[in-house]
């Protein structure tokens, strides 16, 4: 028994020492290399802290060729930062874009201990995105950039391109949020149907105890969203697998994962009143940039049915397109990463190709 206790103590001590040493190693992102292992001379790979909206915020910039167009990716949540998982699923995009992942305020590396949750307001996020866009345009000498937004990032992104269309080649809304209230109602009906057909009386009772949406209390919505995930209408990848992928990322250190978890857990709670009233039919009837919707048909977090309806409704003089992901729910960039990456490159080729024809 004593020997086992000593062995267990030694293992725990070893893990603690590894974590401690790992925490001392500075976060960084590896250079982009060619087939011979040499750094590609025209590439960029940098992890940076810059001032955005009066606070330090972190961006990851990676691209094989700095002559390529810039793509700014707005992550979901709020709080679901993608820097530690981005390269695993979508790293190949670095061949065609200068890809910029940004830990937004309150998320990941941009979620310090003294972070003020009251600064999480829709207009502040729009201002932050506009400021970062201007920084990227100036840094890379571009008149326009591409904008991609996932889930919460799609809410933010579509409002940004509505306000500043001149800054963007195109907008890609991934798992686009359309109408928060109606989306919850559609998901509720789907959940009820799933539980009734499977005979899962326990989950059906839990759903009925929550009551019909909309949910004015954020914690009630969190429980509802967790039920959607459990039923297969939300996250496409197991959380445990995501954790393993994220823990391998050199861009994050031990303290960053704590901040990442805290930001993800907070979610939209700090701005629940604003996000739950979101309605694009009412507020965004027209968009003056080319717009694409990448949507999983199995998605009931941001229901595909609503995305289709809004796509038909939206006035988009510069063009619109709906790309279906048949095997995806809420995260097609992970569930069908190869197709997602190919479709995003098609967007670039179409937009840049049209621009050259019009010169």
Active centre residues (catalytic): 151, 299, 330
C-alpha distance from residue 100 to each of 45, 82, 254 (Å): 10, 11, 22
Q: Which residues pair with 290 in a beta bridge?
A: none
**Chain centroid, CA 249 distance in Å:** 17
Q: Are 301 and 149 in contact (CB under 8 A)?
A: no
Task: Tell me, letter by letter, the H, E, C secondary structure of 15-71.
Answer: HHHHHHHHHHCCCCCCCCECCCCCECCCCEEEEEEEEECCEEEEEEEEECCCCCCEE
Tokens of 26: 């500075």
- Is residue 2 packed enough to be buried (19+ CB in 10 Å), middle (13-18) or exposed (0-12)? exposed
Q: How many CB atoms lie within 10 A of CB 17?
A: 10
Separation between Cα atoms, residue 265 and residue 215, nearest integer Å: 18
**Closest alpha carbon to 61 in 127, 128, 140, 165:** 140
Q: Using an 8 Å Cβ cutoff, are 323 and 293 in contact?
A: yes
């Amino acid at each position: 028994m004593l020997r086992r206790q000593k062995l267990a103590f030694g293992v725990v001590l070893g893990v603690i020492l590894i974590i401690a040493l790992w925490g001392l190693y500075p976060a960084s992102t590896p250079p982009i290399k060619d087939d011979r292992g040499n750094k590609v001379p025209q590439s960029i790979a940098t992890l940076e802290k810059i001032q955005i909206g009066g606070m330090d915020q972190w961006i990851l910039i990676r691209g094989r060729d700095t002559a390529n167009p810039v793509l700014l990716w707005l992550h979901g949540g709020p709080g679901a930062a993608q820097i530690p998982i981005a390269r695993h699923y979508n790293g190949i995009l670095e061949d065609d874009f200068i890809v910029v992942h940004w830990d937004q305020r309150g998320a990941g590396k941009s979620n310090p201990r003294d972070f003020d949750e009251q600064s999480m307001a829709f207009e502040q996020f729009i201002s932050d995105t506009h400021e970062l866009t201007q920084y990227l345009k100036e840094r890379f000498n571009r008149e326009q950039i591409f904008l991609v937004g996932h889930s919460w990032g799609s809410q933010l992104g579509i409002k940004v391109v509505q306000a500043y269309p001149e800054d963007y080649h195109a907008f890609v809304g991934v798992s686009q949020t359309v109408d928060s209230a109606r989306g919850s109602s559609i998901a509720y009906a789907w959940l009820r149907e799933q539980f009734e057909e499977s005979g899962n009386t326990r989950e059906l009772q839990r759903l009925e105890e929550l009551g019909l949406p909309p949910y004015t209390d954020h914690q009630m919505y969190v429980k509802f969203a967790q039920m959607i995930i459990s039923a297969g209408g939300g996250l496409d990848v197991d959380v445990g697998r995501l954790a393993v992928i994220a823990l391998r990322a050199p861009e994050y250190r031990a303290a960053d994962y704590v901040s990442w978890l805290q930001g993800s857990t907070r979610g939209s709670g700090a701005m629940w009143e604003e996000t739950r009233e979101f309605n694009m039919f009412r507020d965004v009837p027209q968009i003056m940039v080319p717009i694409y919707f990448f949507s999983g048909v199995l998605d009931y977090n941001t229901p595909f049915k609503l995305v289709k309806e809004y796509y038909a409704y939206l006035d988009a003089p510069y063009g619109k397109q709906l790309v279906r992901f048949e095997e995806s729910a809420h995260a097609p960039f992970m569930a069908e990463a190869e197709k997602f990456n190919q479709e995003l490159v098609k967007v670039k080729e179409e937009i840049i190709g049209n621009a050259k024809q019009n010169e």
